[in-house]
Structure 1
Amino acid sequence: MATNPSKPIVVWITPCHSYRPSFSSRSLGLNYTIKSFRFDDVKKPSFIDINPNGSVPAIQDPNTDITLWVSGAIYQYLEEQYDTDNRLIYPTLKEKHQCNQWLHFQMSGQSPYFGQCGWFQHLHPEKLPSAITRYANEIKRVLGVLEGVLAAKPADAQWLVGDKMTFADMAFVPWNFRLSEVLLQPWDEVWAGTPHVRAWHERMVALPSWMRAMEIRARLMDEQGLQWNGVPKGIETFTEYEAKIAAGET
């Protein structure tokens, strides 16, 4: 088993977002606790003191006195600090840097493009078909990159690096999990032309650690009365939500 911190690592999230740290922590069996708070408060001093960028996730590890934000940095920290039996990492030079390569691709390629598609598809105050098309095409391009790599591997090689799931694979799960909502397409249509990516994704979302993270997510969203996109029930648009936040009405 991984080295377990004696004091729980504090994972800061808003209920709709940022389940990478809990997915990783639960996969490693780490001692952690979730601090769930309202999206309204991400730019307020109490959280800005933890993350000056005012975004989730963030972690505080009392065992090392380290505070970190940005999910990629959190992934690397948790694995390097606590995955002492190399369950989700490789200690070898080649594989170690290949994992880091895929993590950087997820942060620079998947996350911003998928996020922008979600924004223009659902939350932007006016419909901009050209922006929606651009980012939807980028989603397909990123999925195509992954498909080409996974399809070229031997039949018994099911992961991006080596012969086991690593944090590099896991980093892609949260956004891929929401693709049907982001693209406004049925699940089967989302994966058209990328059967290897679909199989890879479905291997990971079947893991107990992921399913438990989603159970916690559903409970926390229900406690705050949130819709699937993180906007409170009864509020139709993100612009309306922002206006209510600014007016102190939420």
Structure 2
Amino acid sequence: MSEPQFTLYSTLVGPNGWKVAMVLAELGLTYKTLWPDFSKKEQKGPEFTKLNPNGRIPVLIDHKNNDFTLWESNAIIEYLVAKYDPEHTISFADFESQQYVRQWLYFQASGQGPYYGQAVWFIKNCNGEPAEVVDRYTNETKRVLKVLDRVLATREWLVGDKLSVADISFLQWNTSADRIIVGSEFVDKETPNVRRWMNAMIARPGIAKVMTERVKMLSA
């Protein structure tokens, strides 16, 4: 049996490695996942920081491209579709749509991930304190969800007429909002278009496979 094409460095808890895994799965690309031990700060050690000087996951190594190594999840996603999606299964051929995808990827990286991440950190690791800090990040999470909901009220997907990496990039952090930050009732009632969109993505075979794998590993 041949070795997988990619090595993905990830973590069970954080969403960013899993969204890369979803893109790999949707493109039918083979990969193995390595899990640095965060309790031992392996992601900050010299072996790992040779791959990513920022000491964060994810990192992806493409063994069929001279072990080309890339970090930052959305940069990895852009690389994967540029090099391995010639049929534009989850990307677009036309230049303008490509820019719209990039727009959403940037918004996800700057407007969703940091605020959701801070909300989860203070809720889970600081027992919801200080309250004003949690309120700030929770309110920003709600604001981002409502931005997405307004856009999705008029279209099925963020760009064009099909699922793309623009959509996939938001899913894992939105499940954190659903489970931890604002709760499923808020998403269901206040942002129903986001709920419909999330359900449509979760129904995809590749995405469903990755999400099932994550749930099994977290419950093990």
TM-score, normalising length: structure 1: 0.80
* Number of the residue aligned with 1:206: 203
8 Å CA contact retained: 1:60, 1:67: yes
Runs (4 or more) in structure 1 with deviation over 3 Å come to 218-223
Counterpart position of 1:179: 177
Q: Distance in 1 between matches of 2:38 and 2:215?
A: 16
Alignment coverage as a number of residue pairs: 214
Distance 1:70 1:107 in 2: 9
Matches within 5 A, 1:1-250: 8-17=5-14, 18-40=17-39, 41-65=42-66, 66-124=68-126, 127-153=129-155, 158-183=156-181, 185=183, 187-221=184-218
Q: Contact 1:13/1:56 (CA < 8 Å) preserved in 2? A: yes
1:151, CA displacement in angstroms?
Answer: 0.9
Distance 1:198 1:126 in 2: 25
For residues 44-94 of structure 1, give each alpha carbon's deviation from its aligned partner in whole angstroms, at most 9, with x where no partner exists: 122111111111111011211310111000100000010010001111011
Alpha-carbon separation, structure 2, partners of 1:126 and 1:86: 43
**Cα RMSD for the two superposed structures:** 1.9
Is the alpha carbon distance of 1:122 and 1:164 closer, same or farther for their aligned partners in structure 2, counting shifts above 3 Å?
same
Q: Any idea what SS the aligned residue of 2:209 has?
A: helix
- The AA in structure 1 aligned to 2:7 is V
Give the number of the structure whose alpha-carbon radius of gyration is greater: 1
Residue 125 of structure 1 deviates from its aligned partner by: 6.9
Query: Residue 142 of structure 2 contacts residue 182 of structure 2 at CA under 8 Å; is this kept in 1?
Result: no
- Matched residues in 2 for 1:190 and 1:183: separation? 11
- Which residue identity lines up with residue 174 of structure 1 in the other structure? Q
Partner of 1:245: none
Give the equivalent residue in structure 2 for 1:238. none
Q: What is the one-letter code of the residue matched to 1:70?
A: E
**How many Å apart are 1:165 and its aligned residue?**
0.3
SS class of match (1:11): strand
Runs (5+) with no aligned partner, structure 1: 1-5, 224-250
Tell me the distance in 2 between the aligned counterparts of 1:76 and 1:192: 33
Distance 1:39 1:103 in 2: 26
The percentage of aligned residue pairs carrying the same residue is 35
Contact residue 187 and residue 195 of structure 2 kept, 8 A: no
CA drift of 1:10 comes to 0.7
C-alpha spacing 1:197/1:221, structure 2 compared with 1 (3 Å):
closer
More helix by share: 2
